[in-house]
Structure 1
Amino acid sequence: MVEHSSSFLEPEELAHNIEQVRNRIAEAAQKANRPLEEITLIAVSKTKPVELVQLAFQQGLTHFGENRVQEALPKIATFHPEGIHWHMIGHLQSNKAGKVVEAFDMLQSVDSLHLAQVLERLAASREKHLPILLEINIAGEASKAGMRPEESLSVAREIAAYPHLDIQGVMTVAPLVTNPEEVRPVFRALRELRDRLRDAVPQHSWHHLSMGMTDDYQVAIEEGATMVRIGRAIFGARPSR
């Protein structure tokens, strides 16, 4: 039995939200003359019950993002059908890295060489290859996680030698602004940094640009995002703490 709460949407409302987001992604892709299949919608399900994840999966969403390991693990254990992909998108403490290696399909928030070293050791012990993104604090905000752009090349070169970590691109959390056009330069800078990293460390794909959230994902797509992380526009506002 599903319990209804302030964080629960009716299936019809959830379906409407998903349709709206998909339509806006399609509009942005068309505006940028990009193939729609280049863009992966990641539904950010942090603080939301697993029942909402199940409903969203029934609506065709297959990628879900979580910020906190301890909150995510019960959801993943409860609901991991074939075809679902769980992304860790929040800051990860190294003492919880083993749980991420075991449970998640991608870690988007590798923000230091130390964390990468821990992940490599844990992935090797489990004979697993872990897709990762390097989290870059492209705007230099003191309140945000992520490595500095200027240190990303040396870190990437080190990680490139780790056989159990697969660098698939970069991620950033843009500043919170009223007008999404204000963060266009941030997204553009991340794309340009990714291109430089791909040229310098060609043994990895560097395919993904994970950038853009509910308030700015259309601008992010116009600037090259291959992954957008959408929570509120799909699941509604998070419950107040």
Structure 2
Amino acid sequence: MAELIRGLDARRVAENAAEIREQIAAACAVAGRAAEDVELLAAVKYVAPEELPVLAEAGIRVLGENRAQELVRKAADWDEAGLGAVTWDFIGHLQSRKVKVVAPLVRRIHSVASDSALRELAKFTSPPEVLIEVNVAREEAKSGVLPEDLPAVLDRCTAPVVGLMTMPPLAERPEDNRRWFAALAELAAAHGLTELSMGTTQDFRVAVEEGATVVRIGTRLYR
């Protein structure tokens, strides 16, 4: 596990966020989109819990956590510290046995990829919004449904599916991932889904040009 990020500076985080939003706006302009249609989500997997007040001070209010137990801990810490309004999303691999822990805390789960997780979500009267994770690049080591299996998954899902998510292969150039982002956008459009969670620190501009509505940014915000 990577070392946790500590010693954050609120002014620097706010400046980084402003720069990222400028780059999102530039990418939107290229694509003929409105900048306000793209949400900046702060990935906090490696942010130490004691740094949460710094994020609040910097104006970061949409947070994504990868691990269920850390989500529970950080959400509780945020509330106990009285840091104000916040939106939590779950962006990591979702085990079915963790659904009951995650679902009550989040607006969205970006990473639903199994029937077992869908069955657990179906038990909730008011489940969070769901994005189905799609393995568009067909990488054997990654989770996610295959593109051709998506229609059947959608048919079986009783939770509110609003969009799709993908994690493309590691690439030397952001441009190398354009085809995967375009493929996800095409799948979403074919099924009437409007939300696209795609793009991270390395390639979010390309993702926005291809239709991302949420970009998941970690290190670029904190360094």
TM norm structure 2: 0.92
Distance 2:40 2:183 in 1: 21
* Aligned residues of 1:110 and 1:116 also touching (Cα < 8 A): yes
Distance 1:13 1:62 in 2: 16
**How far has the Cα of 1:82 moved from its partner?**
5.1
The reply to whether residue 109 of structure 1 matches residue 111 of structure 2 is: yes
The reply to whether residue 231 of structure 1 matches residue 218 of structure 2 is: yes
State the SS of the aligned residue for 1:77. Answer: helix
Q: What are the residue-to-residue correspondences of 1:1-241 with 2, within 5 Å?
A: 7-80=6-79, 83-121=85-123, 123=124, 127-159=125-157, 162=158, 165-198=159-192, 206-236=193-223
What stretches of structure 2 of length at least 5 have no aligned partner?
A: none
Distance 1:70 1:180 in 2: 32
1:35-85 per-position Cα deviation (integer Å, ceiling 9, x unaligned):
011101100011212343332233332211110111121110111455311
1:187-208 per-position Cα deviation (integer Å, ceiling 9, x unaligned):
000000111122xxxxxxx220
State the SS of the aligned residue for 1:76. Answer: helix
RMSD over aligned Cα atoms? 1.6
1:128-186 per-position Cα deviation (integer Å, ceiling 9, x unaligned):
23211000011111121111111011110111xx2xx2111000011111111111000
Letter in 1 for 2:52: V
State the SS of the aligned residue for 2:185. Answer: helix
State the SS of the aligned residue for 2:122. Answer: helix
Distance 2:18 2:72 in 1: 28
What stretches of structure 1 of length at least 5 have no aligned partner?
A: 199-205, 237-241
* Aligned residues of 1:42 and 1:230 also touching (Cα < 8 A): yes
- Percent identity between matched residues is 35
Distance 1:63 1:97 in 2: 20
Change over 3 Å in CA distance of 1:114–1:178 after alignment to 2:
same
Distance 2:68 2:90 in 1: 8
TM norm structure 1: 0.85
